[in-house]
Amino acid sequence: AQSVTQLDSHVSVSEGTPVLLRCNYSSSYSPSLFWYVQHPNKGLQLLLKYTSAATLVKGINGFEAEFKKSETSFHLTKPSAHMSDAAEYFCVVSLTGGGNKLTFGTGTQLKVEL
Amino acid sequence: NAGVTQTPKFQVLKTGQSMTLQCAQDMNHNSMYWYRQDPGMGLRLIYYSASEGTTDKGEVPNGYNVSRLNKREFSLRLESAAPSQTSVYFCASLPREAAYYGYTFGSGTRLTVV
């Protein structure tokens, strides 16, 4: 079975400061991992994905994530937050095969303050 | 360049009424999925179709039925709506090479059952 845990339901940062959204996963096999972002009343947009290539993955809008197998983590970071980053972020794990179903974390709401 | 199209965007139903949520994708993707999103619970898989002609239950299938009409279309039916089915519903699709592309999501259907 696969699962994903987002360690913080809410994160608040000041504009211009670093962002860290934490995610731990559990998977019996080599997983694919994703981060999705959802702005208010919008659909989900893919930020970045890890698929067993480079462990440091760069995504859109300056976000990146590092896959650490020893820690079963896939934390999302950004060096400098912008007001437009305020949204809900989902860490997602997928196993290839078996319908390629995604398992979502419960989400982290990011608030960016002036 | 439509991607995944869901209709309707909003719907209010009375308890016991039935309705069908429509989803269509124009990317020639093999797999299609229906998720529901509830506050604090992330997205949960209702049903999926790994390929045309097949459908399987996900995590929360009770109260729903699906039809994979053809490769493009995957509909979700509520036969007798209940207030517990008030949620935002997302359709998603996936090409065969799942690990390399991630899902494409529709913009969602916001359903309220009163």
A106 touches chain B (CB under 8 A): yes
B43 touches chain A (CB under 8 A): yes
Q: Do A51 and B100 touch (CB under 8 A)?
A: yes
Give the tokens for residue A50. 């890890």
Q: Cβ distance B4 to A44 under 8 Å?
A: no
The alpha-carbon radius of gyration of chain A (Å, integer) is: 14
Among B41, B98, B104, select the one facing A96 at the smallest CB separation: B98
Q: Three-state SS for A45?
A: strand
Q: What are the chain B neighbours of A90 within 8 Å (beta carbons)?
A: 42-43
Triad A65, B38, A35: Cα angle to 5°: 10
pLDDT above 80 (res B100): no
Residue for token digits 């859109």? A60
Q: Cβ distance A112 to A15 under 8 Å?
A: yes
pLDDT above 60 (res B109): yes
pLDDT above 90 (res B87): yes
- Report the chain B residue with the minimal C-alpha distance to residue A89: B42
Preceding amide of B8 cis, omega within 30: yes
Residue type, B111: L
Among B48, B56, B105, select the one facing A44 at the smallest CB separation: B105
Q: Compare B40 and B57 and report the one with higher pLDDT.
A: B57
Predicted pLDDT of residue B1? 59
Q: Do A96 and B99 touch (CB under 8 A)?
A: yes
Average pLDDT over residues A77-106: 87
CA distance A75 to A65: 5
